[in-house]
Structure 1
Amino acid sequence: MAKLPCISYLKALADESRWQIVRAVLERPRTVNELAEALGVSQYNISKHLRILRAADIIESERQGKHIVSRINPRLRNDVKEGELAINLGCCRFSFDDSPDFRAFSLPG
C-alpha cells in the first residue's frame, strides 16, 4: 500500500505540460494567468492540469485576493536544499535544471 501515493504522483507527472507547470511553480508560486503566459498554453488547459496536480497532492492552491496562487506541496520539498528546483516524492526524487525539458530522477537507497 505504501507505493500507491507514488503511483498517483507519477501518473500526474506523466504529461509534459504538467511537468512544465511543476517546474515553473518550483521557481515561485504562480497564478493560472502567469502559468498560461509563461508556458504558452490556454488558461483552460492550465486549470485542467492544475486540477490533476492538486488531486495527486503535488500542487496546493490558495486564494489571494482575486487570484488563486498555486505552489508545490511543502511535503514534497523535504530533504531538498533551499533554492534547488527539485521535488522528493519519497519513492523517488526529480530534479530540474535551467532547461524546462531536463528531467533527472533518483531512487532512494
Structure 2
Amino acid sequence: MLTSVNMELLRALADPLRLRIVCLLARESLCTSHLVQETGARQTNLSNHLRVLREASVVATEPCGRFTYYKLDPEMFDDLSAFFGGLAESSREAANTKRPCG
C-alpha cells in the first residue's frame, strides 16, 4: 500500500538549483561560501534556496565558528525512496490490469 508523500519536499526538490545543492550535500557538508563556489549562484539567492530546503526538513544546519554548515537529512530521502519504490512495485503489479471502459 502506498503512503502519502511530503509535497513540500517534492516542491523543494523540483527547483534545479535546490536539486544541485542537495546533490552537492549528498557528498559532504558544506557552508554557504562552498555552495557559492560550486554553483556560481549569488549568496542571497543561495540563502533563499537553503531556507526552503531547511523548511522542508531536507537540510540541517551545524554552526562551526562563524560559519554554518549544511548537511542532508538522510531519513527524508529514505521516506521518498520508499514512496517511489512503492509506486514502482504497484505499477509492476498493475501492468496488465485495465479498468473496463463504458
By the TM > 0.5 criterion, same fold? yes
Q: How far 1:92 moved relative to its partner?
A: 2.7
RMSD: 2.0
1:67 aligns with 2:70: no
Q: How far 1:107 moved relative to its partner?
A: 4.0
Q: Structure 1 stretches of 5 or more lacking a match?
A: 79-87, 94-105
TM-score (norm 1): 0.69
Higher relative contact order (CA 8 A, sep 6+): 2
Structure 1 window deviating more from structure 2 (55-64 vs 69-78): it is 69-78
Q: Which has the higher strand share?
A: 1
Give 1 or 2 for the bigger CA radius of gyration: 2
Give the share of equivalent positions with the same residue, in percent.
28
Please give the secondary structure, in 2, of the residue aligned with 1:68: strand
Q: Structure 2 stretches of 5 or more lacking a match?
A: 90-102
What is residue 56 of structure 2 aligned with on the other side?
A: 56
Q: Which has the higher helix share?
A: 2
Detail structure 1 runs of 4+ shifted over 3 Å in the superposition: none
Please give the secondary structure, in 2, of the residue aligned with 1:22: helix
Q: How far 1:91 moved relative to its partner?
A: 2.0
Deviations 1:73-96 (A, max 9, x none): 131354xxxxxxxxx524237xxx
TM-score (norm 2): 0.74
